[in-house]
Copies of this chain bind each other. A is one copy, B any other.
């Protein structure tokens, strides 16, 4: 998994930070998460290649997360895209795209609208499985967890030990346990990964969440940190988080690495965010 931050600003693009968008590349498949104004130019600048793009995930219908979508859809059409594209996001997404008058002529777009409380698997292909988590914002908003789909290997020593017949192995590789005469060997015992599949969590825009979420244990978590603690009341009023609150969540959720973004343009530097977060969660990057 390779993550490219295309924009990490809040509310509107500034010279320093573009509006929110991220590019997640997994082998030869790519996923766009949110699409603020200017995303298509950031994609060019960061040398991401839309030919790999399979699906776009939209967290919520605020302009700084969607105003780049009509242009991107339209430009890929003009550039001759033929590969179908899935776009997954909240209720209202389909009407927005239809009224923007950009649904392409050369390639198919399949739009899926998520229920406000949707929290299961919302997308799956050969490279990733994606899960949704309702967040707490002024309007319906979803976080996303991306789990890499890696092909597992079977432990040959167990196949020999329990004399598992060859014809049963495909079932085991696709997730079944093995039931012998007097014994059941669970799937997780039988399989292993040469390279561990990684997971990425994306949370913006949201108030701090204190209940268990699907982000527990992800390798890397992106959590919005629009404010620092100095403006915690403003964060509360506007349904956003501070860097400290993001770090608390990352700690409580036992994630590997924390990325902060969606910084308000009132801050000239990100040092305040970083200092505040690393006190609680050292492996933080802004």
Query: Chain A interface (Cβ within 8 Å of chain B)?
Result: 11-15, 18-19, 37-38, 40-41, 44-45, 61, 63, 67-68, 70-71, 74-75, 78-79, 95-96, 99-102
- In the complex the two chains form, is A15's CB within 8 Å of B41's CB? yes
Per the bound structure, the CA–CA distance linking A61 and B101 in Å amounts to: 10
Beyond the given A67-B74, A100-B100, please list 15 additional residue pairs across the A-B interface where CB-CB is below 8 A.
Answer: A11-B75, A12-B40, A12-B71, A12-B75, A12-B78, A12-B79, A13-B41, A15-B41, A18-B41, A19-B71, A37-B38, A37-B67, A37-B68, A38-B38, A63-B102
How many monomers of this protein are in the complex? Answer: 2
Given contacts A37-B37, A38-B37, A63-B102, contact A74 B12 (CB under 8 A): yes
- A41 surroundings in chain B (CB, below 8 A): 13-15, 18, 37-38
- A102 surroundings in chain B (CB, below 8 A): 63
Per the bound structure, the CA–CA distance linking A67 and B35 in Å amounts to: 13
Given contacts A37-B37, A37-B71, A38-B37, contact A14 B44 (CB under 8 A): yes
